[in-house]
Amino acid sequence: MNRLYLLGASLVPLLGATRTLSEGATIGVCAVLLSSLHQLLMPPLRRRSVTWTYVLASLLVLAALASCLQLALRAWLLPLALSLGHYPALLCLQCLAIDYLLPDQGAGACSPATFARCLPHACCLVPAANGWPTVSACTWPAWPRAPCYCSDCCWPCTIACVRALPNHVIKESSDFMNAAKRLEIFRRLHEDNPDPKTELAYTTPFELLVAVTLSAQSTDVGVNKATARLFPVANTPEAIYALGVEGLSEYIKTIGLYNSKAKNVIEACRLLIERHDSQVPQTREALEALPGVGRKTANVVLNTAFRQPTMAVDTHIFRVSNRTGIAPGKTVLEVEKKLIKFVPKDYLLDAHNWLILHGRYVCQARKPRCGSCRIEDLCEYKHKTSDD
């Protein structure tokens, strides 16, 4: 199956080459004709001192010849492109890719119904405004490829999606983990820890906002030590703002980047007092308008303090999502969106804490503790280790 999949994929560049072949051949042959006509027409024109009418006529003849040549080339290349597009191995490539990436669900996917669905969409290779395929609309191997106008996921789209995945994701996991496996992963995480909590110490949404802001490039343990000194003295926007940058710095100087963090916290306190009546806003837009608050910090506050179904992706969650195959992605935002989409709704509110704790204590960066992992049999990581 893998060999057949690779064989089908290797034929795809032939389709993308049709545009280059067509235009290259057109330009080359037209250049030869132009040179020949130039040698044939120009000497008589010079001897007879003809007017510009003859020059214009010769140009029109050249244009007509070029147009006819282009039509002839396309008349030959169109059947070639369509024959390649209807090649059975390529038509069923969607099914083969599913078999390759998801063996437990791909068996039998290459059915007559699937074949019939793929057949009309061969025009995705060469879409045209009039509905009839032309030769040169496929942009393979350039990325992004020409837009696909079909309603189903035909084989060019499937190959494009597979080709767009990062290499480590294709090798270590797939973007096609089935829903039942995801559900079982989170069921086990819930069974082991029914009420997961953040390790940052806080009692109010404002304290959480300050703690998360201070936690950038710092450990939760270090932040908790700093806030244990700060919050008994000042734990409201007014009280912290009254400390000023220098006063606040004295309490948080044990954590990294404390000077810039102190400035951000003081300015955020000022804005909370002026714009939000000293209350922490409950929208991402309002939170991100505060100094030192990015998308991840806003998501943590919304999820932890206000129990909104957001997903803050840090380095631990990014690693776990890609390793296990729960929600692989190239960027933090891509992983966040996939987690929101794929995590079962019943577990979404606590998924952030489960994944971050799992990445911090089990699925560690350098040496994951696969031997003691509760979801080891469900994980799609290919380089599993023992705890020895």
Do the annotations mark residue 153 as ligand-binding? no
Give start and end residues of each alpha helix (H) in the chain.
Answer: 2-48, 52-85, 88-91, 93-101, 103-106, 112-118, 155-164, 167-172, 179-192, 205-214, 220-230, 237-252, 258-275, 284-288, 295-304, 315-324, 332-342, 348-361
In the numeric block, the tokens 């506050």 are attached to 301
Cα separation of 216 and 226, whole Å? Answer: 13
Count CA atoms within 13 Å of residue 357 on its CB side.
Answer: 18
- DSSP 3-state assignment of 388? coil
- Whether omega for the bond prior to residue 141 falls within 30 degrees of 0, making it cis, is yes
Do the annotations mark residue 370 as ligand-binding? yes
Q: Give me the catalytic one of 99, 175, 261, 296.
A: 296
345 is catalytic: no
Cα separation of 261 and 267, whole Å? Answer: 10
367 is catalytic: no
Q: Give me the catalytic one of 99, 175, 261, 314.
A: 314
Q: Which two tokens stand for residue 265?
A: 């916290």
Report the candidate in 374, 320, 376, 328 with the shortest Cα–Cα distance to residue 384.
Answer: 376
Q: Which two tokens stand for residue 62?
A: 């050249």
Q: Which two tokens stand for residue 370?
A: 């696969």
Do the annotations mark residue 124 as ligand-binding? no
Report the candidate in 365, 255, 386, 253 with the shortest Cα–Cα distance to residue 316.
Answer: 365
Cα separation of 115 and 113, whole Å? Answer: 5
Provide CB contacts within 8 A for 358, sequence distance 6+. 189, 316, 320
Q: How far is CA 143 from the centre of its chain?
A: 14
Report the candidate in 239, 238, 260 with the shortest Cα–Cα distance to residue 249.
Answer: 260
Do the annotations mark residue 373 as ligand-binding? yes
Tell me the DSSP string of 346-372.
GGHHHHHHHHHHHHHHTS-SSS--GGG
Which positions make up the binding site for [4Fe-4S] cluster?
363, 370, 373, 379
Which positions make up the binding site?
363, 370, 373, 379
Active site residues: 296, 314
